[in-house]
Amino acid sequence: MISKTTIDKVFEQSLVEEVVGDFVQLKKAGSNFKGLSPFSNEKTPSFVVSPVKQIWKDFSSGKGGNSVAFLMEHEHFTYPEAIKYLARKYNIEIEETQLNSLDKEKASERESLYIVSEYAKDFYKTTLNNSNQGKAIGLSYFKERGFVKETIEKFDLGFSPNEIGYFSNSAIEKGYNKDFLEKSGLTIFQNSKSIDRFRGRVVFPIHSMSGRILGFGGRILNTEIKTAKYLNSPESLIYNKSKILYGIYFAKQEIAKLDNCYIVEGYTDVIQLHQRGIKNVVSSSGTALTIDQVTLIRRLTSNITMLFDGDKAGVNATLRGIDLILSAGLNVNVCAFPDGEDPDSYTQNRSYEEVNDFLTQNSQDFIQFKASILIEKSKNDPILKAKTINEIINSISIIPDRIKQEIYIKHCSRIMDVSEEVLFNSLAQRSKNEIPVLSKKRIIKIEKTLKLQKIDILFELERKIIEILLLYGNREEQFEELILKNDEKGNILLEPTIVNSLVHKKIFLDLQQDEIEFTNDSFKIIYSKIIQEYHENEKLILDVFLNTMDIDLSNQVTSILMSEDQYQLHDWLSKDILVKDKDKVVGQLVTETILSLRTYLINEKVKELQFQTKQNNTDNSEILKEINDYYKLKSLLSNKLNRVI
């Protein structure tokens, strides 16, 4: 178990904007930061990070919380893993007790797969650097590729001995479970025999965005053996090839910094470019690019440059990838290497300046690329030229941004020597079949919006009380206390008295005095936890407080806390729409909320009494007098709130 001292230090030193910023490209928005949701495929930012409150909120998925919650949601860490990750990030020494056998048995399957994969990575690295076979075969191969010691170490490169069960037997002897060795794909069990999947191969560990080992890629070095040149881990609970980009862990910061991501085909392409100083590069690991991989990049940048070999297969793969990237709303450029070269071979004997200049000078937008490839085929054939133009228009048609479409149409017109009018008409023909469908959806959406739903006033008032307690509970404010009295004629009066009080004490006493209980079950639990926290510790630290709750309650709390910041996503201030700063009128806010709640309860009580008069066949004079008194009180509260209620 991790000691409380370590956990406290983690919360004291970690900054949510720095933690989230390692995974999501954030931009300043007032006092907050905003970015694209890392949990959904969106085109408009709905993800907000508050440095002041040290929490984040994703309005598209409803998720939210502190730094630990983000790591648990985004990286699927357990709570201890998230704490350890933050401790390492902020150089905090981790104090913990040794796990007992019972704790190990309770470890999740996912965590067990991570543990096995981590062991395999260390095993392959040790074998590469310390065994005779590893040095003679594996290390020699990497050095032939031009990889220096620092690069080999950084990418955790390794070697699996060419012995049928060497790794597996070693892992079993160390106490690793056979089930997890098999589920991770590291070992194949046939009868009583264990077979190493990556035997006789150099090994490329595949890291998650946070650096955890998800799986492996292995390259065979013995060309006489009839088997696949490259072999990847099979799908598992932690390894999904279509959702992973090789090198993303080492490239993420540079991608966000340079606002561009290079995509290459293979492992060695990534490593070679990275070693040369081009660090914003990832690989789709030899598979066709997927929408999940593009979405992963979108979290860091909206610009992608595809680097490809000049052969036919490389061209076709690039053409397929272009449309996929465009459909996700990203910008795409293409850079082709000279015949017979790939990113790995081209980079090996050149300096950073030479490689960077080549990439800069030879990167072209997708229209120029498609035109150069397809025009070469069409030459003087007008039919093939028309087909080429249609190919380009097809790509433009899938771009979701209409402004970008128009810019690309103008660009295509200049390159292909075709009038803009013709191209716009062609684009319109492709879009017209979609318009009725889109319009129908929009009509349905509008109709649903116009069906005004009854606002749950009590829910909103209870929610507001929770928000005030979370944000301002420990502040001392001046309040106008309203004392209920009767004058000489028996009329009801509200006599104001000015008092100073802590916000949480004022709310607690007011609700207790009126015997008001929360009706929403979640709010009831949250309110109880807040009051308990203030009573026990005399303060409430938001990110620490969130850790006392389960995920559902934590999400609700962050929704409440960040609701006031959501307007920044729409940049209202730039449109001269001013949002009232509640922080400057906390006392007034508390008073009005409590008065509004009392008024609501009076209305409900009046309805209840009115119902009794309808059901009661006897004298209703007492009930009617009570109703009249409530109306008088309601009128006084209405005057106090300066509105009709």
* Highest mean pLDDT of the ranges 384-393, 473-482, 524-533: 524-533
Tell me the average pLDDT of the chain: 80
pLDDT confidence band for 368 (50 / 70 / 90): confident
Instruction: Point out the least confidently predicted range of 265-269, 329-333, 436-440, 631-635.
Output: 436-440
Q: Do the domain assignments include residue 303?
A: no
Is 421 buried (19+), middle (13-18) or exposed (0-12) by CB count in 10 A?
exposed
Same domain membership, residue 515 and residue 595: yes
Instruction: Point out the least confidently predicted range of 27-41, 64-78, 427-441.
Output: 427-441
Closest CA to 317 of 380, 264, 243, 281: 264
Same domain membership, residue 70 and residue 208: no
Same domain membership, residue 213 and residue 81: no
Domain end among 239, 261, 280: 239
pLDDT confidence band for 53 (50 / 70 / 90): confident
* Secondary structure of 147-166 in HEC code, one letter for each residue: CCHHHHHHCCCEEECCCCCH
Domain end among 101, 131, 166: 101
Q: Do the domain assignments include residue 298?
A: no
Same domain membership, residue 156 and residue 172: yes
Distance of CA 394 to the CA centre of its chain: 31
Same domain membership, residue 141 and residue 122: yes
H or E, element range at 35: strand 32-35
Same domain membership, residue 611 and residue 485: yes
Mean of pLDDT values over 449-460: 58
How many structural domains does the chain have?
4
Same domain membership, residue 115 and residue 10: no
> Three-class SS of residue 523?
helix
Whole-Å CA distances, 262 to 135, 231, 284, 456: 32, 23, 11, 50
User: What pLDDT does 498 receive?
Assistant: 78
Kindly write down the DSSP assignment for every residue of 68-126, as one continuous string.
HHHHHHHS---HHHHHHHHHHHTTPPPPBPPP-HHHHHHS-HHHHHHHHHHHHHHHHHH
- The owner of tokens 């928005």 is 29
Residue 631: CB atoms within 10 A of its CB come to 12
User: What pLDDT does 448 receive?
Assistant: 47
pLDDT at 173 over 90: yes
Q: Do the domain assignments include residue 275?
A: no
Q: Do the domain assignments include residue 274?
A: no
pLDDT at 630 over 60: no
Same domain membership, residue 235 and residue 384: no
pLDDT at 307 over 80: yes
Higher-confidence residue: 398 or 204?
Answer: 204
Higher-confidence residue: 529 or 388?
Answer: 529
Q: Residue 218 corresponds to which tokens in the numbers above? A: 């292995």
User: What pLDDT does 445 receive?
Assistant: 45
pLDDT at 377 over 90: no
User: What pLDDT does 643 receive?
Assistant: 42
pLDDT confidence band for 493 (50 / 70 / 90): low
> Three-class SS of residue 493?
strand
H or E, element range at 217: strand 213-220
H or E, element range at 594: helix 586-615
- Taking the C-alpha atoms of residue 340 and residue 604, their distance in angstroms, rounded to an integer, is 81
- Taking the C-alpha atoms of residue 171 and residue 195, their distance in angstroms, rounded to an integer, is 12
524, 553 Cβ separation under 8 angstroms: no
553, 526 Cβ separation under 8 angstroms: yes
Higher-confidence residue: 289 or 299?
Answer: 289
User: What pLDDT does 337 receive?
Assistant: 87
Higher-confidence residue: 424 or 401?
Answer: 424
Instruction: Point out the least confidently predicted range of 113-127, 249-263, 505-519, 609-623.
Output: 609-623
pLDDT at 618 over 70: no
Strand partners, 450: none
Same domain membership, residue 595 and residue 547: yes
User: What pLDDT does 490 receive?
Assistant: 61
pLDDT at 440 over 80: no
pLDDT at 628 over 70: no
Residue 482: phi and psi, rounded to 5, are -105, 115
User: What pLDDT does 439 receive?
Assistant: 39
Higher-confidence residue: 452 or 467?
Answer: 467
Instruction: Point out the least confidently predicted range of 198-207, 347-356, 414-423.
Output: 414-423
CB neighbour list of residue 623: distance below 8 Å, 6 or more residues apart: 609, 612, 613, 616
Alpha helices, H only, 499-574: 503-513, 521-537, 542-546, 551-562
Q: Do the domain assignments include residue 252?
A: no
Higher-confidence residue: 377 or 40?
Answer: 40
pLDDT at 220 over 50: yes
Same domain membership, residue 536 and residue 491: yes
Domain end among 239, 262, 280: 239
Contacts made by residues 126-131, CB under 8 angstroms, sequence distance 24+: 126/158, 127/158, 127/159, 127/160, 127/161, 128/152, 128/157, 128/158, 128/159, 128/202, 128/203, 131/159, 131/161
pLDDT confidence band for 353 (50 / 70 / 90): very high
User: What pLDDT does 360 receive?
Assistant: 92
User: What pLDDT does 576 receive?
Assistant: 38
Q: Do the domain assignments include residue 581?
A: yes
**Could you tell me the CATH number of the domain that includes residue 168?**
3.90.980.10
pLDDT at 331 over 50: yes
77-115 residue pLDDT tens: 778 888 889 998 999 988 866 655 555 554 578 888 999
552-604 residue pLDDT tens: 788 888 888 877 655 444 444 444 333 344 554 677 788 778 778 877 777 77
- Taking the C-alpha atoms of residue 244 and residue 287, their distance in angstroms, rounded to an integer, is 11
pLDDT at 432 over 90: no
Whole-Å CA distances, 532 to 55, 66, 370, 435, 541: 21, 21, 65, 56, 13
The range of the structural domain enclosing residue 391 comes to 367-437
Closest CA to 116 of 180, 168, 182, 196: 180
Same domain membership, residue 474 and residue 385: no
Q: Do the domain assignments include residue 304?
A: no
Same domain membership, residue 179 and residue 83: no
pLDDT confidence band for 214 (50 / 70 / 90): very high
Q: Do the domain assignments include residue 396?
A: yes
Instruction: Point out the least confidently predicted range of 221-235, 268-282, 385-399, 625-639.
Output: 625-639
Mean of pLDDT values over 493-499: 69
- What whole-number percentage of the chain has pLDDT above 70? 80
